[in-house]
A and B are shown apart, each in its own frame.
Chain A
Amino acid sequence: MTQEKGWREISIAAVCWKPNTEFLTGDWKTFKPIRDPAKCTRCLLCAIYCPDGAIHWKADKNDIEFDYNYCKGCGICANECPTKAIEMKLE
């Protein structure tokens, strides 16, 4: 955040001039989802419910992956998981 622009340089109406993937919101979280691979059935309900799209399906690994750069730690994945494979742990 050292090269912030002045008011004459930025787009009007607060239109974003860089992709939102450049705004890392993962540091907002207090609780971090940790999955137990043994309990996980790869049903992907967590990926569907994640409001930030921070749970990805990795076909090559045949497994899911949490993107902690964007996970805000809301805990919806843990709540929805049918096998209770996700635990929210204090960071």
Chain B
Amino acid sequence: MEKVEQKVLALNGDEAVAYAVKQCDVDVVAAYPITPQTIIVERLSEYVANGEVETAFVCTESEHSALTACLAASLTGARTFTASASAGLALMHEMLFVTSGCRAPVVMAIANRALSAPINIHGDQSDTMAQRDSGWIQIYAENAQEVYDSVVQAFRIAEHPEVMLPAMVCLDGFQLSHSVENVGVLPDEVVKKFVGVRQFPKVLTHEGKLAPLRLDPENPMTLGPLAFPNYYFEFKRQQEEAMRRALEVIRQVHDEYAKISGRSYGDGLLDAYCLEDAEIATVCLGSTAGTVKAVIDELRAEGVKAGLLRIRTFRPLPVEGIRKALENVKAVAVMDRSMSFGGHGGAVFHEVRHALYDSEKRPIVVNYIYGLGGRDTSPMQIRAIYKDLQEIVQRGRVETPIRYVGLRE
């Protein structure tokens, strides 16, 4: 496919999500419309009210019900979308596992926001990090453009017959969800063709025949049944296998999309910046990468070999890619915008350090927890992290591996 002409719209991250969903021929959107909901479903409800889409919009009484409605609709074969954030996502917790266990490819956008208490719905990644083991694919976008692109890709990835897993597209609350940017959008028919119609893997039903996995009176099947200790474990192993397969599918869908849009984000899993010859590097997720890249440009001009590895796909985690990308660096600072209380640092730190354990070179890895509850992270603070890394490389060791950015002592 050839690269296509695109128009540029001024959209904030939420509107970019809604615009992409509008173009993806979604059958059902179920959502809870009040705080901590964002503009995403507000825009979608407008598209529905204006007759711009043929989508059934269901307002539910809670996020738990919203995801339950999406799951049920998805199991009938409908393309399904919802959005949430913060406490709303936390309330979905039970149904997140049911959705992934039922292999329902629901796509959900999350405007990453903090969890109470104290009450705070400003930006941080505590909400999605707390759901990282729920069996959902997690893609973290850096800017509103990537939010748009990722939502379009997410339907293809989630619904791929080899994957069949729900997917979250995560956008930093406020930095992305409420900031207006120029967003290039593909023509409606191009998106419709790219996403295509939903595919269904075949399953063996209780009538002894192979039928598409969806609720269909012509091919009755039992979905969401009980599984005793003699079978439950096997189904969980299948979900893990689907995650492994998703690594390749995410790459393929990303590359195919890059050809028509002209936009790419590394290999779709990891997005490296100035990393080939870097001596020191940071690792982060989401919008912070934009600030880090600006700081790297300054440092490079000063002769500092600084680099960045942005993890775009956190679930499934591209472990080998992380190892290969970072093993030649001398010191790595992993930035976490959430906490794992009582653990040794944040979740991203755990994963990156774990990936590097199998490397013979094993660079020094330190953790920087930052930006909780919407606290700003400035270029000066990022500079200070690289300065720390330079000192760590000089000394060859580190006494305090877990540090806090912009925290008052």
> Shortest distance in angstroms between B408's beta carbon and chain A's nearest beta carbon?
49
Cα-based distance from A80 to B235 in the complex (angstroms): 40
Whether A7 lies near B230 (C-beta < 8 A) is no
Interface size class of B (residues with CB under 8 A): 20 to 34
Closest to B161 in A: A12
Whether B205 lies near A16 (C-beta < 8 A) is yes
Whether B103 lies near A13 (C-beta < 8 A) is yes
Q: Which residues of B contact A6 (CB under 8 A)?
A: 234
Whether A4 lies near B206 (C-beta < 8 A) is no
Q: Which residues of B contact A90 (CB under 8 A)?
A: none
Cα-based distance from A12 to B241 in the complex (angstroms): 11
Q: Which residues of A contact B227 (CB under 8 A)?
A: 14
Whether, in the assembled complex, B184 has its beta carbon less than 8 Å from a beta carbon of chain A, the answer is no
> Shortest distance in angstroms between B103's beta carbon and chain A's nearest beta carbon?
4
Q: Which residues of B contact A5 (CB under 8 A)?
A: 234
Closest to A22 in B: B206
Whether, in the assembled complex, A38 has its beta carbon less than 8 Å from a beta carbon of chain B, the answer is no
Knowing A18-B206, A19-B206, the reply to whether A13 touches B231 (Cβ < 8 A) is no
Knowing A13-B101, A13-B213, A13-B223, the reply to whether A20 touches B234 (Cβ < 8 A) is no
Whether, in the assembled complex, A15 has its beta carbon less than 8 Å from a beta carbon of chain B, the answer is yes
Cα-based distance from A14 to B225 in the complex (angstroms): 7
Closest to A11 in B: B203
Whether B203 lies near A1 (C-beta < 8 A) is no
Knowing A4-B231, A6-B234, A7-B235, the reply to whether A14 touches B206 (Cβ < 8 A) is no
Whether A15 lies near B221 (C-beta < 8 A) is yes
Whether, in the assembled complex, B204 has its beta carbon less than 8 Å from a beta carbon of chain A, the answer is yes
Q: Which residues of A contact B208 (CB under 8 A)?
A: 17-18
Whether, in the assembled complex, B406 has its beta carbon less than 8 Å from a beta carbon of chain A, the answer is no
Whether, in the assembled complex, A24 has its beta carbon less than 8 Å from a beta carbon of chain B, the answer is no
Knowing A4-B230, A4-B231, the reply to whether A14 touches B205 (Cβ < 8 A) is no
Q: Which residues of B contact A1 (CB under 8 A)?
A: 230
Whether, in the assembled complex, A45 has its beta carbon less than 8 Å from a beta carbon of chain B, the answer is no
Q: Which residues of A contact B237 (CB under 8 A)?
A: 7
Q: Which residues of A contact B203 (CB under 8 A)?
A: 11-13, 15, 17
> Shortest distance in angstroms between B380's beta carbon and chain A's nearest beta carbon?
50
Interface of A is mostly: loop
Total residue contacts A-B, CB cutoff 8 A: 68
Query: Beta-carbon contacts of B214-238 to A below 8 Å, as 1s and 0s?
Result: 0000000111110100110111011
> Shortest distance in angstroms between A24's beta carbon and chain B's nearest beta carbon?
13
Whether, in the assembled complex, B102 has its beta carbon less than 8 Å from a beta carbon of chain A, the answer is yes
A1-48 residues with Cβ-Cβ distance < 8 A to B are 1, 4-7, 10-20
Cα-based distance from A89 to B334 in the complex (angstroms): 65
Cα-based distance from A60 to B205 in the complex (angstroms): 34
- Which of B164, B201, B204, B238 meets A7, CB within 8 Å? B238
Cα-based distance from A62 to B37 in the complex (angstroms): 61
B231-251 residues with Cβ-Cβ distance < 8 A to A are 231, 233-235, 237-238, 241-242
Cα-based distance from A16 to B203 in the complex (angstroms): 9
Whether A20 lies near B235 (C-beta < 8 A) is no
Cα-based distance from A11 to B224 in the complex (angstroms): 12
Cα-based distance from A17 to B227 in the complex (angstroms): 12
Complex A-B, nearest 9 residue pairs according to Cβ-Cβ distance, in ascending order: A7-B234, A13-B103, A16-B222, A11-B203, A7-B237, A17-B204, A19-B206, A15-B203, A16-B206
Report 28 cross-chain contacts, Cβ distance below 8 Å, ordered by A residue. A4-B231, A7-B233, A7-B234, A7-B237, A10-B234, A12-B201, A12-B213, A12-B235, A12-B238, A12-B242, A13-B101, A13-B164, A13-B203, A13-B224, A14-B101, A14-B231, A15-B204, A15-B213, A15-B222, A16-B205, A16-B206, A16-B225, A17-B203, A17-B205, A18-B206, A19-B206, A19-B207, A20-B222
Question: Can you name 10 extra interface pairs (CB under 8 A) apart from A14-B227, A14-B235?
Answer: A7-B238, A10-B231, A13-B235, A14-B102, A14-B224, A15-B223, A17-B204, A18-B208, A19-B207, A20-B222
